[in-house]
Structure 1
Amino acid sequence: MKYMAGALVAASLVGCTNLDENLYDQVASQNYYNTKSDVIRAVFRPFEHAFWSVQSRHVLNEESADQLITPTREDWWDDGGRWARMHRHEWLTTNGEAQTEYNGCFQGIMQANLVIEDLEQRSAAKFGFSDAEFKNLKAQNRVLRAWFYLRLLDAFRNVPLAVSYYDTSKNSAGQVEPRKVYDFIESELKAVLPELTRKTSLGGNQAAQGQWTQASAAALLVRLYLNAKVYIGEDHYTECAQYAQDILDGKYGSYKVADRWDAAFDWDNQTSDEVIFAFPASAGRTHWHYNGDMFWWSVPSKASDWLKDTKNKVGTHNIKYSASPSYNPKGEKYTYELGMPIERFKQYPSDVRLKMYTNLGNNRREGLFIFGKISYTDDKGQTAYLKDHNGRYTLDLRDAVGKFGGTDGNKWLATSESRLEDGDDNSGWMFAKYPLYSDDESGQLEADYCEIRLPEIIYSLAECKLRSGDATTAAQLLNSVRKRNYPSTDWSTALYTPEGAAQLDLKEMLAEWGREFFAEGRRRIDLIRFGKFLDAWWDKKADADSHTLIFPLHRDILGANRNLKQNPGY
């Protein structure tokens, strides 16, 4: 719908930084709706909050999983053991990330409830909308509300069900069983599908970027059904496969896998047909995925010296995230089934994503990872190398965690001991999933945040096929995406059989989810679905029981509503 771009411009002027305020009260007045623009601004206000909220989900789903870590960096990133507890599944009822996810989702739900009920009390004609346009605006907030509930079901399982802003008697006093939330999500998405727009041609979402469409709502059903066994103890792979196949067949719109792995994350991803749903972002407005809890802090702290990206500063870079190590400090490879993401990528050594991240100029990049010594040209035109955050030694990033300091990257330490507490700035390969373009490039911070892309649908269908015993079709589906990651000369070895020599089973399927969706905020649920979340990996023992499959409710949440009960095991 053509109104989206203008609506998000207005919405982006309001920040979501204070969880103590009722952000939705800006549109609560009964006198607010006077013009068409007022309606549009109100309708899309919850979308900006939703975009902001992806930060807490990213922390929960990646820090608690096996691929990303936040080691102590000498005098940085200990934070009272917070990140070590997340990694080892030792979180407490004082866990701030879980509270932020819970509060952020329910704030978004109440914002959406307000808009839905306000539109139900008003007519399309009064504001110059057609009936179809007006239904679409309401339907989009119903999808957004379902998206929030899917996150709550995923993280906490036992949550209240609030469906009204004005009549709280319609809302549950305490938690409802997971099945009730599951059924609500399913029925809402199915009900609004016909009222949403359908992408009818190739060329990307363009100005419609950020709108829930038929394909994106159907994609949420794919997510729901894929994880139904986790959520409600029932297998719904058949329904998952059907909706995924319908999306691929074009029933809900026209989409296509990009020929570059990074196209869905690049500055012009509104033109990528791989993108099914993305939150619009720009340097001059909001770009929450470029904030600290996400991709601004997955590079060295002094990376701006190298990247020359200080013009649109969102705070200095930092060294929060690294890939979990494949080697101990002595240079000996680990043998864990889980984690070791760099080694999983190197299983297919010609993977183009393994190249060193480099800005090529003219708003293009190559490579995903940052490793070894990082050279740049300093202000005097001389070659220099990035240093640690204290400026004491030259960085030489390696796929291990230890106090390496100024040790050359070709040399190792005498000890094999390695924990999160033992790290420094050299510990772990870093990464740039979204491009970090320089001040001279117009694409700097212009990438929209890609929430749903077509490979997720393809991989979901492939998993359903594999679980049903059809490994050949599963392999062909995966290969339709994977072939862009390897030179065609290597397809005979890199692709899955029968198109190549690589073998596909459930273990490899999980590894391939980890490669394709590395650092995209979903690793936790994939591990759970494959029955691996409770297992051991680097610096984590196997969980003693299964209560850590869901997060605890923060004590402040329980204190605010005495009808709530703590999740089992906490």
Structure 2
Amino acid sequence: MKFKTIITDLCIGTALLTITPSCTDLTENVYDQTVTANYYQTHDDVIRAFLRPFEHGFWSITSTYRLQEITADQIGTWERDGWWYDGGQWERLHDHTWGLEGGEADIITGCWNGFFQGIGQCNSVLEDFARLDPVQYGFTTEEFDALKSQIHVMRAWFYIRALDLFRHLPLVVSFSDQSQNTSYQLPPKEIFNFIETELLDALPLLPLKEGNSGNGVNQGQWNQGSAAALLVRLYLNAEKWIGEARYDDCARVAQEIIDGKYGYYALDEKWDSPFDWNNETSNEVLFAYTSSYGYSHWHMTSDMYWWGLPSNAHYYFGFTDWGGMNPGRGVQPGHDVDGNLYHFDLGTPIPKFQKYPEDVRLKKYVNLSGTSQREGMFLYGYLPYADGSGEHVKSPVGDYPIYLRDQVGKFGNTEPGTVIDDKESSVTHGDMNSGWCCVKYPIYRDDDPGAMESDYVEIRLAEIYYSLAECKFRQGDVTEAGKLLNTVRKRNYPEDTWTEYLYQPEGKVQLTEGELLDEWGREFIDESRRRTDLCRWNKFSSSTWWDKQPDADNHTDIFILTQKILGANPDLKQNPGYPDIAR
């Protein structure tokens, strides 16, 4: 098992604070007389307090993932032989018909609470640290300032995600002094300005990435490169979030990162290296939450990738230590039940990969001989058991061999290619055969040294290249945009076919707005950002994809404030276009 500094320290530490769910009630609950006055006794106590918002941040990715992916055009949750209907909550997320109450409202509420709990934890740590003498705890002033600056960046990260999903937010900057906070929402531009100031002020006090062998033992800590990357995200989405284009600023900071101003970063030669078990050595990773089989691994839980894989597929991978997998999510189909290609502008992710048929990511995922090696990014077709018996993995419902296809329907035990009478394909009408599955992070075998050791990558250098390319495209420099995208894309295709697969002028493919959005989807499929990208291009509420018609208007570009959110704070106002609660 690789050494995980942050996670190890966190797991042996004691959480200092408990935050209540309401964003405006940040009362400290004291347990067993452990309060600020007597908690900080040693250097390690400071580190434990510092780490608490990081672990909470890692946990908070789970609910965000579902809102970012299931509401968009690439990943979906559909009924499978009676499984995964769950009161219609996934259908409502898919259709953008979420309500004040219900299962989907609980997910939305969890996001809101998770953001503000994390913000509250950051505020508490910052207030505590302001009262401490760093020398007394074995820190230099520079080291202590770096710790505090990381907490400021952490708070900014929570706010960026909250601004994206909800737009109208209270500003909560103090844990103990409520007079510094607003119980009501501020205009989005004020929250945007606060985030920008947080990041710009913190940036010079953060450490630079050291060396050219990845983040190493500093994986999971904010540094100048990762903080600058958050500025890239903020500026890229500014026109959508606050109505002011900041593409020039986005391009400037992105270019600075690529040029090495904030430390050495470089694209990996293989697409999967940033996601592999030893990705703390990847120079493509700007920020990742440290994860390990024996410690935290929130991205591999049922709310995320573990339940995005076929039933009983753990027998295919040869990893049975965590029990059964469950197909809660799959790749939305590109073909109807008769095998005819859908012709939506959005969605149909597999055909969009197959547009470039020699893409190495299209290989079926398989664990290679030896240890901790894989190839391919998708599961499809029959999945043989890893024991070499030649038997195929079977459905737990109906006991038929699973044959994964780029279609959603009731195929049951029919042979591949068989025409079925039931032509319905919808989120309420599927089975265990329905849809390919995406495997971004490897599932290595039991007792393999790399089993469940991949850190969760929040930001990687490919995003910076794609963000800069989008800025160039919006500014009319399509040639430079194509070159930037090609810098990343080259690793996905054989060199002798680059002429056919790369964008002009290095290849023959024309880069259009639609192709750019498709390429964002190919590179970042299942990485918890698709909704944001669609919203930025004004496609999220206005477009059609599989089993999804355009919304009546664009109010669904941001989420509803649920019954529980509004009920916890009477000063909050409902987001535009949604029903309010009785006041």
Q: Secondary structure at the match of 1:76?
A: coil
Equivalent residue, structure 2, for 1:517: 524
* Structure 2 partner of 1:356: 364
Q: Structure 1 residue 200: deviation in Å?
A: 3.3
Q: How does 1:552-563 map to 2 (within 5 A)?
A: 552-563=560-571
* Match of residue 483 from structure 1: 490
Q: Deviations over 1:37-75 (max 9, x none)?
A: 110110011100100110011000001100011110011
Q: What pairs up with 1:107-186 in 2 under 5 angstroms?
A: 107-186=117-196
2:317 alignment partner in structure 1: 307
List runs of 5+ in structure 1 lacking aligned partners: none
Could you tell me which residue of structure 2 aligns to residue 8 of structure 1? 7
Which residue is 2:36 aligned to?
A: 29
Tell me what 1:448 maps to.
455
Q: 1:430 to 1:23 in 2, by over 3 A?
A: farther
Query: One-letter code of the match for 1:218?
Result: A
Contact 2:224/2:262, CA 8 A, preserved across alignment:
yes
Could you say if the C-alpha distance between residues 446 and 15 of structure 1 is closer, same or farther in structure 2, counting changes exceeding 3 Å?
farther
In structure 2, C-alpha distance between the alignment counterparts of 1:530 and 1:365, rounded to whole Å:
34
Alpha-carbon separation, structure 1, partners of 2:425 and 2:460: 36
Change beyond 3 A, Cα 1:28–1:522: farther
Distance 1:499 1:333, change over 3 A: same
Distance 1:488 1:19, change over 3 A: farther
Cα distance in 1 for partners of 2:205, 2:7 equals 21
Which letter maps to 2:460?
R
**CA distance in 1: counterparts of 2:20 and 2:136, whole angstroms:** 35
Q: Which residue of 2 aligns with 1:545?
A: 553
Structure 1 letter corresponding to 2:493: Y
Give the AA of the match of 1:317. Answer: M
SS of the equivalent of 2:391 reads strand
| Residues 23, 308 of structure 1: alpha-carbon distance in 2 compared, 3 angstrom cutoff | farther
DSSP 3-state at the match of 2:416? coil
Classify the secondary structure of the residue corresponding to 2:175. Answer: coil
Q: Give the fraction of aligned pairs with identical amino acids, expressed as a percent.
A: 49
Q: Secondary structure at the match of 1:450?
A: strand
Distance 2:532 2:285 in 1: 21
Give the Å deviation of 1:30: 2.2
Q: Deviations over 1:230-283 (max 9, x none)?
A: 110011100000000000011111000000100010000000000000000000
1:43 is aligned, of 50, 71, 84, to 50
Matched AA of 2:73: D
1:325 aligns with 2:333: yes
1:523 maps to amino acid: R
**2:412 alignment partner in structure 1:** 405
Identify the residue that residue 466 of structure 1 maps to in structure 2. Answer: 473
Is 1:367 aligned with 2:376? yes
Does residue 429 of structure 2 align to residue 419 of structure 1?
no
Cα–Cα, structure 1 residues 24 and 430, in superposed 2: closer, same or farther, change >3 Å? farther
The amino acid that maps onto 2:156 is A
Name 2:581's counterpart in structure 1: none
Query: Is contact 1:198–1:252 with CA below 8 Å preserved after alignment?
Result: yes
Instruction: State the shift of 1:339 in Å.
Output: 0.3
Count of residues paired in the alignment:
562
What is the aligned partner in structure 2 of residue 198 from structure 1? Answer: 208
Aligned partners of 1:79, 1:415: CA distance in 2, in Å?
Answer: 23
Distance 1:194 1:165, change over 3 A: same
**Aligned 8 A contact 1:338 1:537 in 2:** yes
Counterpart pick for 1:335 among 325, 343, 354: 343
Aligned residue number for residue 113 of structure 2: 103
Alpha-carbon spacing, 1:508–1:232, altered in 2? closer, same or farther (3 Å): same
Contact 1:13–1:285 (CA under 8 A) maintained in structure 2: no
User: 1:7 deviation in Å?
Assistant: 4.3
Conserved? CA contact 2:317–2:386, under 8 Å = no
- Kept in 1, the 8 Å contact 2:6–2:290? The answer is no
Q: Which whole-Å CA distance do the structure 2 matches of 1:176 and 1:352 have between them? A: 47
What is residue 187 of structure 1 aligned with on the other side? Answer: 197
Distance 1:323 1:385 in 2: 21
Please tell me the root mean square deviation across aligned C-alpha atoms, in Å: 1.8
Q: Structure 2 regions of 5+ residues with no counterpart?
A: 579-583
3-state secondary structure, aligned to 1:259: coil
Q: SS of 1:277's equivalent?
A: strand
Amino acid at match of 2:325: H
Which residue of the partner structure matches residue 506 of structure 2?
499
Please list, as runs of the form range in 1=range in 2, the aligned pairs for 1:204-215 lying within 5 A after superposition.
204-215=214-225
Q: Distance in 1 between matches of 2:437 and 2:14?
A: 29
Q: Deviations over 1:146-176 (max 9, x none)?
A: 0000011000001111000011110002111
For residue 389 of structure 1, report the CA deviation from its aligned partner: 2.4
Q: 1:548: how far off? A: 0.3
3-state SS in 1 of match to 2:189: helix
User: Which residue matches 1:80?
Assistant: 87
